[in-house]
Amino acid sequence: MSRPISEDDLHAFVDGALADDRRKEVEAYLERNPEIAERYARFGAQRDALREALAPIAAEPVPLNLNLGHMVASRRRSSRSGWQVAAVACLFLLVGGGSGWMLRGMESDHPIGINALAQEASYAYAVFGPDGGRPVEIAAADSDALVRWVEKRLLRPISLPDLSGAGYRFMGGRVVATQNGPAGLLMYDDAKGARIAIMMQPMMRHDQNAPMAEHREGDVVGYAWADNGMGYSLVGGLDTADFLHPIANEARRQIQAKT
Amino acid sequence: MMAHVEPLIPSLRRYARSLLRDQSAADDLVQDCLERVISRWHQRRIDGDARTWVFTILHNLAMNRLKQKARRGVHVTVDDADQAAFATAPAQEDRLHHRAVVDALSQLPEDQRSVLLLVSVEELSYVETASVLDIPIGTVMSRLSRARHRLAQVLEEGPGRLAKTGTVLRRVK
């Protein structure tokens, strides 16, 4: 008889991780020790039950936003536009503020789809986020009027996500102007008055559906996505960067549940 | 890259969902993981195993997320909790049985749960599991042992008690 049987050997036996020789030694040991054999047989049964219980998750079809080919392709698109933005920024620095006209020819490269929405949301947040006097046009108390106004301009039904679970109270909102027409802007604040905002706008041609993507523009961070032809971007200050993503997921979940 | 990573995605979803018990949060985590895998693929150690590397990224993201949740007190909502998160086999008897095991799993401390899932369900070797969790193999073995004993104990104490003492906090809107 070789080395004594250890507890590690018994677990490896349960996991089928022993070499043949050692497995035979463990089997012989278990025959001599029925109480231990019974305990480890139970561990084996637990292992099987756990595997069976969780197997259906792995058998589900992989959703589109986790499709690797799709992710690689959309990454290429966004990295190219990122490079273009960087190039334009360098050019701008070199040429100087007075020579901005040189960039006119690059207008055709302006962002599209949720990238455009992300940019507009960042601009709107930069303007209305710190506004002390009138951050919203219609306050939360008149939510019905706000919804009617936004729906009338977007020609689409909307819903107001409740972010109180994440500590953000709904303040109200407004319709804002963007390059691609009107958009709805909903504002929320936390107990300390720090604000986050959601912009929503119908997607015309691009990104009818788009997985959630992070964006940054100056001091504004955000997460943008699109579902069923409607684009959304949740934006906040740099200090919200660490926890904005789960809030965006929650907003998306609520909107999906209502539409 | 595709050939190495694509076949792992179902397992990654299963591991993430088993840890977070929230389908949409788990899939978001897998998405974050895959984005990192795509951007850092060329940085991985060539001699290392791709599966171990990808699981390490996912596990670390999951731990960050759980810490964040604990800190912020945001927990899964009623709709997303276990019923929806865990698909089960059709037979009634099996379903009860599976439910009991999954509930019992949720009673384990997180460090034991990770080891049990990686070893028993995802079939990583003890060495690979040690690498994913960045702990010595001896620690893998002791956590595995504690996990199995604890799971057996929880299952013996019966589902009646379990149903009322789930560790998942639920948000009341």
Model ipTM value: 0.81
Model confidence over B33-63: pLDDT tens digits? 999 998 888 888 766 788 999 999 999 999 9
Q: Would B169 be classed as within a structural domain?
A: no
* This model's pTM is above 0.90: no
Q: Are strands A230-237 and A220-227 parallel, antiparallel or unpaired?
A: antiparallel
Q: For the domain that residue B119 is a member of, what is the CATH number?
A: 1.20.140.160
Q: Would B126 be classed as within a structural domain?
A: yes
Q: How confident is the prediction along chain A (259 residues), in pLDDT tens digits per residue?
A: 578 999 999 999 999 999 999 999 999 999 999 999 999 999 999 999 999 999 999 998 888 888 888 888 777 666 656 666 666 666 666 655 554 444 444 444 578 889 999 999 999 999 998 888 888 999 999 999 999 999 989 988 899 999 999 999 999 999 999 988 899 999 999 888 889 999 999 998 888 899 999 998 888 999 999 998 999 999 999 888 888 999 999 999 999 988 7
Q: Would B93 be classed as within a structural domain?
A: yes
DSSP conformation class of A242: T
Q: For residue A201, what is the enclosing H or E element?
A: strand A195-202
Put simply, the chain B residues between 58 and 77 with a CB less than 8 A from any chain A CB are 65, 68-69, 72, 74, 77
Q: Would B170 be classed as within a structural domain?
A: no
Put simply, the chain B residues between 128 and 147 with a CB less than 8 A from any chain A CB are 141, 144-145
Q: Would B160 be classed as within a structural domain?
A: yes
DSSP letters, B98-115, are HHHHHHHHHTS-HHHHHH
Strand order in A181-189's β-sheet?
Answer: A138-139, A169-178, A181-189, A195-202, A230-237, A220-227, A210-217
Q: Would B172 be classed as within a structural domain?
A: no
**Domain that includes residue B38, residue range:** 2-164
Chain B residues touching residue A164 (CB < 8 angstroms) = 173
Whether A66 and B27 lie within 8 Å, measured CB to CB = yes
- Is it true that domain A110-258 has CATH number 3.30.70? no
Q: Give the number of domains in chain B.
A: 1
For B98, which of A12, A47, A49 is closest by C-beta distance?
A49
